């Protein structure tokens, strides 16, 4: 597909491709087995600029376009979808939170470490009783007397990507019956306890946890709930990029397999029903890429791209699930074994239909926009 991208960003994308093929893809099975990334990955990600893709240049980041950001997430997902998911949450949600809502003092304290991978981040909205209905957040924030800007947080968060490793978490919490806002929370304190590691069917290396906050001290980042949640529009484009990366990788592996495997004295690739599956996947990947690039370009032009980010996320995530399912079908029994990567991609793809708003919520967003 033709991709318009700034020459500097194209260079960055090439560096990312090399990193993925040499340092990510060869390790993806091991990271899944260990249900963790190695600690050394964080400074390496920092060195490559992957922990500051979306951060503005004024704040020391790369200030990359949304288009370039989505292409980077797509490339990383071809090597390891869990890593792509982490980078997506860190860049589009955590770093964007700094750009939009952090005070200069907060930026100065944390950003140099975040960019280098010394301070690892996570984004905490979801709770046991607040998933799709995010406004139901119960975590309560109460101002600490004599410490302006600081609050005590009490509550529970669940399904937080990288939560088991994070040093600093953006927490969405309630300050009154009607008002919600967000905070920076350092995890190295008594009030923060990891209750459990959540073992998921895919993206296991991403260290998803449930944690409790008991009088945990947090620093307010003045913003309204809708503003904090508004970051999900670009976030959803990142998840769409992750979905397209998964689909493209499964498709590439399937083409190779279909060309070499023979049954009934001919290649699978020469059988019409296999060709039909391949053709359907090819069209859907192309369409998902176009929706992704359209959403990202609108975002780069300054539009909120609310509908378009949901278009891209909904279609790309469902495409990733269909394409990986067909990939296993074409691999036959071998497709279900760990000898072939398609089974992992199929499991990893599921997250893209759920995280950052499940498909049903994307359909609600789209319907609301088109019925206005």
Ligand X SMILES: Cc1cc2nc3c(=O)[nH]c(=O)nc-3n(C[C@H](O)[C@H](O)[C@H](O)COP(=O)(O)OP(=O)(O)OC[C@H]3O[C@@H](n4cnc5c(N)ncnc54)[C@H](O)[C@@H]3O)c2cc1C
The site for ligand X (CB under 6 A) is made up of 89, 122-126, 131-132, 159-161, 200, 203, 208, 351, 354-358, 360, 364
State the CB neighbour count (10 A cutoff) for residue 303: 13
Pairing mode, if any, of strands 140-143 and 180-186?
A: unpaired
Least separation in angstroms between CB 324 and ligand X: 16
Nearer to ligand X among residue 65 and residue 210 (C-beta): 210
Least separation in angstroms between CB 171 and ligand X: 9
Which residue shows structure tokens 């074994």?
337
Of 336, 346, 333, 330, give the one whose Cα is nearest residue 272: 330
Least separation in angstroms between CB 202 and ligand X: 8
Strands annotated E in 88-243: 121-124, 140-143, 150-160, 168-174, 180-186, 192-197, 209-221
CA distances from 257 to 74, 215, 260, 309, 334 (A): 22, 55, 5, 33, 10
3-class DSSP state for residue 39? coil
**Residue 308 a catalytic site member:** no
Of 14, 24, 48, give the one whose Cα is nearest residue 249: 24
Say if CB 212 and CB 193 are below 8 A apart: yes
Least separation in angstroms between CB 132 and ligand X: 3
Nearer to ligand X among residue 131 and residue 149 (C-beta): 131
Nearer to ligand X among residue 9 and residue 356 (C-beta): 356
Bridge partners, 121 (sequence order): 168
145, 195, 356, 360: the active-site residue: 356
Strands annotated E in 63-139: 121-124
Nearer to ligand X among residue 54 and residue 269 (C-beta): 54
Measured over all CA atoms, what is the biggest interatomic distance in the chain, rounded to whole angstroms? 81
Least separation in angstroms between CB 189 and ligand X: 20
Q: Which residue is nearest to ligand X (CB)?
A: 131
Which residue shows structure tokens 């060195």?
47
- Looking at residue 339, the DSSP 8-state letter turns out to be T
Question: Residue 325: which H helix or E strand, with range?
Answer: helix 306-331
Q: What angle do CA 102, 230, 43 make, to 5 degrees?
A: 55
Q: How far apart are the first and last CA of the chain?
A: 33
Nearer to ligand X among residue 96 and residue 258 (C-beta): 96
Least separation in angstroms between CB 65 and ligand X: 24
Nearer to ligand X among residue 193 and residue 200 (C-beta): 200
Least separation in angstroms between CB 90 and ligand X: 10
Nearer to ligand X among residue 53 and residue 172 (C-beta): 172
Burial of 120 by CB count in 10 Å (0-12 exposed, 13-18 middle, 19+ buried)? buried
Q: Which residues are catalytic?
A: 356
């Amino acid at each position: 597909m033709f991709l318009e991208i700034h020459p500097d960003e194209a260079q960055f994308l090439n560096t990312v491709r090399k990193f993925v093929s040499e340092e990510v893809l060869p390790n993806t099975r091991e990271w899944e087995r260990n249900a963790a990334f190695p600690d050394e990955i964080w400074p390496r990600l920092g060195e490559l600029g992957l922990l500051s893709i979306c951060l503005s240049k004024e704040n020391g980041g790369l200030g990359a376009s949304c288009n370039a950001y989505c292409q980077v997430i797509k490339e990383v997902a071809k090597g390891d979808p869990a890593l792509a998911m982490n980078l997506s949450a860190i860049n589009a949600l955590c770093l964007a939170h700094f750009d939009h809502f952090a005070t200069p003092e907060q930026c100065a304290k944390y950003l140099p470490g975040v960019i280098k991978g010394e301070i690892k981040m996570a984004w905490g909205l979801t709770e046991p009783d607040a998933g799709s209905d995010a406004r139901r957040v119960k975590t309560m924030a109460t101002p600490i007397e004599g410490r302006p800007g600081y609050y005590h947080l009490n509550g529970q968060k669940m399904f937080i990507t990288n939560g088991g490793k994070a040093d600093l978490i953006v927490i969405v919490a309630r300050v009154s019956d009607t008002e919600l806002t967000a905070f920076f929370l350092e995890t190295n304190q008594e009030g923060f306890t990891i209750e459990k590691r959540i073992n998921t069917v895919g993206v296991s290396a991403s260290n998803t946890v449930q944690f409790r906050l008991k009088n945990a001290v947090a620093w307010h980042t003045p913003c309204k709930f809708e503003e904090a949640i508004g970051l999900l529009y670009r976030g959803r484009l990142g998840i769409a990029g992750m979905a397209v990366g998964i689909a493209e990788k499964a498709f590439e592996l399937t083409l190779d397999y279909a060309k070499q495997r023979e049954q009934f004295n001919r290649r699978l690739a020469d059988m019409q029903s296999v060709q039909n599956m391949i053709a359907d996947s090819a069209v859907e990947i192309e369409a998902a890429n176009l929706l992704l690039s359209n959403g990202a370009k609108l975002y780069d032009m300054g539009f909120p791209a609310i509908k378009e980010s949901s278009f891209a996320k909904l279609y790309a995530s469902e495409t990733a699930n269909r394409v990986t399912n067909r990939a296993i079908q074409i691999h036959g029994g071998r497709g279900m074994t760990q000898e072939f990567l398609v089974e992992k991609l199929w499991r990893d793809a599921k997250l893209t239909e759920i995280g950052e708003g499940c498909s049903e919520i994307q359909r609600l967003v789209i319907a609301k926009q088109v019925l206005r």
